[in-house]
Amino acid sequence: MKVLLTGGAGFIGRHVHHQLLADGHEVVVLDSLRADVHGQPPDVENLVVADVRDADAVATALRGVDAVVHLASKVGLGVSLDDIDDYVSSNSLGTAVLLRQLGRLGVGRLVYASSMVVYGEGRYRCHRHGEIAPGPRRVEDLRDGLFEPPCPVCGEFLVPGLVEESARPDPRNAYAVSKLSGEQLAAGWARETGGQVAALRFHNVYGPGMPRNTPYAGVAALFRSGLERGLAPQVFEDGQQRRDFVEVRDIATAVALAVEAEHAEFTAYNVGSGTVHTIGDLASELSRAYGGPAPEITGRFRLGDVRHVTADSGRIKAELGWKPAYDLRDGVAALVRS
């Protein structure tokens, strides 16, 4: 199969590229090599250097293609409100331009890199009121160190659980909104064209090749950068935020399976390790692996962060036969060696 891989020169993209080649596919990479994502220019064969918003470049890259893996994206929470238009342009508009060209050229198979951030806060239960959605966290509560979301009815702290793909989306920052809009655009494209879309909602991805020293890097990259300078990881809130940290090579195998599988018009898949850890756990594991100072719990917060979000990845395991190969300790050890 000939596959167009957008964003294929980035952190996740390089691993997906390697996996697709190992599986016998021919791969064309389209990447803008934007400076806030890339360091040194990558050594990638069949590389088209262009922005996914460039319709002519996309059309050229799509010649003879059987399937598309769309990873190209501006990632991260967002550093300031000044980023909001770039998220919409890079992610929402970029996806729309790509979909238009897929429709024009008759390419009917798409794997879209989405994110668990589309859920906002995860799934919660109240001991009194059952399953219930928390409201937005209040600045005054966060300033007082009250990080757990309360029940909007009785005010008792909620108990977090695992969220399934059928949960109502609740994006809470510009990046999350842009990823959800990409899903919705892709679903509309599939209905109109008869195409197939697998939207993979990645959890917190880490591993060899993570970006360094960029404000858009994930928390694992930020902790690592500090430890390499001899600094303790700076952990926001109380460090008890629940996440699912998934190794990038596990992400690559999930993408490769989705490329080859048959899907309904639109199918969303959670892609996580299946093991819940806290951000404090990650910081401690990295400190141990680097032999560095213990994490510092700062109590600082970002209003756009969610407290807990961990998902049930049973669907992709059952339907595509995917199984993660790395636990957190093994994955961190591989990261330190890289």
Residue 219 has pLDDT above 60, yes or no: yes
pLDDT (mean) for 270-278: 96
Residue 41, pLDDT score: 61
Pairing label, strands 204-206, 245-247: parallel
Domain range annotation of the chain? 2-122+163-337
pLDDT for the residue numbered 39: 57
What is the β-pairing status of strands 234-235 and 296-297? parallel
pLDDT class of 115 with cuts at 50, 70, 90? very high
Given a cut of 60, whether residue 101 has pLDDT beyond it is yes
pLDDT one-digit tens code per residue, 77-87: 655 677 899 99
Task: Give the fold, CATH level 3, of 2-122+163-337.
Answer: Rossmann fold (3.40.50)
Mean pLDDT confidence for 77-104: 89
Share of the chain above pLDDT 70, in %: 95
- What's the mean pLDDT in 166-173? 90
CB atoms within 10 A of CB 215: 12
Question: What pLDDT, in 10s, does the model give residues 286-323?
Answer: 999 999 999 999 999 988 788 999 999 999 999 999 99
pLDDT for the residue numbered 167:
93
How much is the pLDDT for 260?
Answer: 97
* pLDDT (average), residues 26-38: 86
Query: What is the mean pLDDT of the segment spanning 8-24?
Result: 96
Backbone angles phi, psi at 5, to 5 degrees: -115, 105
Task: Examine the pLDDT at 215 and tell me if it is beyond 80.
Answer: no
Confidence of residue 172 (pLDDT cuts 50, 70, 90): confident
Give per-residue pLDDT as tens, 323-333.
999 999 999 99
| Statement: residue 139 has pLDDT above 60 | yes
Residues above pLDDT 90, as percent of the chain: 80
pLDDT at 20: 98
What is the overall mean pLDDT for the chain?
93
Which tens digits make up the pLDDT trace of 229-269?
999 999 999 999 999 999 999 999 999 999 999 988 999 99
Looking at residue 21, its pLDDT comes to: 97
Query: Does the pLDDT value for residue 38 go beyond 90?
Result: no
Residue 81 has a pLDDT of 73
Mean pLDDT of 267-273: 97
